[in-house]
Amino acid sequence: MPPPRFRLAGFGFAALTAAMLGAAPLPVRAQQSGAAPASNEARCTGQTTATPQEQAQACTTLLDTGRYTAQNRAILFSNRGIAYGKAGDYARAIADFSEAIRVNPNHLRAYVNRGNAQLAMRDFDGAIASFDQAIRLDPKNLMGYMGRATAYDGKGDTVRAIADYGQALKVDPNLSAAYFNRGLAYRRSGDFDRAIADYDQAIRLNPRDVAAYNNRGIAEADKGDRERALSDYEQAIKLDPNYALAYLNRGLLWQGKDDDRAIADFDKAIALSPDSASAYNNRGTAWNAKGEFERALADFDKAIERDPRNPNFYDNRGTVWRNKGRFDRAIEDYDKAIALAPGFARAFYNRAQAHYLAGRFQQALTDADKAATLNANSAAALSLRGLIREKLGAREAAIADLRQAATLDPTFQQPADALQRMGVAVR
């Protein structure tokens, strides 16, 4: 089982939906007599430059006067929520948007902003409920559909996400962000042709959308259309020579074909984005393929430093230790990968290999069993289990595993060779 490689998609509007709508002005006619100082009102409503803390304090001062109608108090609460959101204090922002809604249940902007704050908190169900209300109040509310689609995406409900992006496009057929995000959703669902079609539209509407070229390249690579993917990554780099993701993804196209060119692209990605764990991981994979094990280990160490919760990085580092014959170190890394992801079939497979190579056949069998259970269609796991059973003297069970592996993947030579060595026909 080869180590995983990570293509990174560029994100557009999905991030923007988490931004608050601008502060609303106070209708003068709705204000009661004895108005508070204009400077506070200007700060609270965003009509003058102020830090988020200054804006929130100005809104608080106005609220404390008790001089405003219910409609204006709702606006003040909403504006203070926006200030808290700008400061990253989403819990207080949500509380203020909720209070604005309590004071004025028809305050559309507060529902949208509350939904965006809930998105930032990854409260996807709460965000969906808020955007539902925004859409109920205004069935053509673009931010409502885009925000709800983003929340469905966050929950992994790509079908509903795609439907909401479609609704947004009915409201505004030229909204490139909706095409872009729907393209992301289609790719995640495995519908690469529709993903590419949506990125085509995003690029038509914005020919300088670097992320759209990058993401269309990913979908084309997923389809196996290497030349078009390469063309799109290069166009992204031409538009923005500092766009790290395009170098990373182009490197993945070279990996296994021209590892030196792959490493050069990963070098560039790391120079532009030194905190990219995926870039270090992918470069480590390329070094491992070249037999440069020390360099591979150094890169996997850096990937893990940047993302210590990613099981793939431990699994990949374990494979380097295994290739160096350091089976105990390899098993330590596979243990960590499995602790982080108990259903990680490849880590069980790799740990089984390490135990097998170390001559610990019973432990190897336990892990190979688990790998085959987690992925019943893995010819590699079945073949390895067959080899282990052969070592343990379970000839018939070994033959059954090897035959099944050969049937699942006729191009996989290992089980066929083992059966030939045992003097048994593949079928």
* pLDDT tens-digit series, residues 300-330: 999 999 999 999 999 999 999 999 999 999 9
pLDDT at 340: 98
Judge whether 107 lies within some domain.
Answer: yes
pLDDT digits (tens, 9 = 90+) for 158-167: 999 999 999 9
13 pLDDT band, cuts 50/70/90, is very low
| Same domain (yes/no): 165, 257 | no
| Same domain (yes/no): 77, 165 | yes
Q: How many domains does the chain have?
A: 2
pLDDT at 47: 84
Res. 45: pLDDT tops 90: no
Q: Which residue has the higher pLDDT, 406 or 1?
A: 406
Distance CA(117)–CA(131), nearest Å, equals: 11
9-12: long-range contacts at Cβ-Cβ below 8 A with a sequence spacing of 24 or more?
9/184, 9/187, 9/211, 9/214, 9/215, 9/218, 9/245, 10/210, 10/211, 10/212, 10/214, 10/215, 10/243, 10/245, 11/184, 11/211, 12/177, 12/180, 12/181, 12/209, 12/211, 12/212
Average of per-residue pLDDT values in the chain = 92
pLDDT at 20: 53
| Same domain (yes/no): 18, 166 | yes
- Section 223-247 average pLDDT: 98
Distance CA(134)–CA(149), nearest Å, equals: 13
Judge whether 257 lies within some domain.
Answer: yes
Res. 75: pLDDT tops 70: yes
189 pLDDT band, cuts 50/70/90, is very high
pLDDT digits (tens, 9 = 90+) for 53-73: 999 999 999 999 999 999 999
Judge whether 264 lies within some domain.
Answer: yes
What are the tokens at 280? Answer: 């270090």
- Which of 37-51, 145-159, 383-397 is the least confident region? 37-51
Judge whether 215 lies within some domain.
Answer: no
pLDDT at 30: 37
| Same domain (yes/no): 26, 159 | yes
Secondary element (H or E) of residue 75: helix 70-86
| Same domain (yes/no): 64, 144 | yes
Res. 336: pLDDT tops 90: yes
Res. 8: pLDDT tops 80: no
The residue whose two tokens read 């259903």 is: 343
pLDDT digits (tens, 9 = 90+) for 94-127: 999 999 999 999 999 999 999 999 999 999 999 9
Res. 390: pLDDT tops 90: yes
Q: Which residue has the higher pLDDT, 7 or 370?
A: 370
| Same domain (yes/no): 28, 108 | yes
Judge whether 166 lies within some domain.
Answer: yes
Res. 3: pLDDT tops 50: no
Q: pLDDT exceeding 70 applies to what percent of the chain? A: 91
CATH code for the domain in which residue 160 is found: 1.25.40.10
- Section 236-254 average pLDDT: 97
pLDDT at 29: 33
pLDDT at 252: 96
Domain of residue 303, residue span: 249-308
**Can you name the residues that pair with 68 across neighbouring β-strands?**
31
- Section 149-165 average pLDDT: 97
Res. 7: pLDDT tops 50: no
Res. 26: pLDDT tops 60: no
Among the candidates 189, 211, 236, a domain finishes at: 189
Residue (of 284, 287, 215) closest to 246 by Cα position: 215
pLDDT at 25: 58
Instruction: Kindly report the length of the chain.
Output: 427
| Same domain (yes/no): 265, 146 | no
> Which amino acid, one-letter code, is at 84?
Y
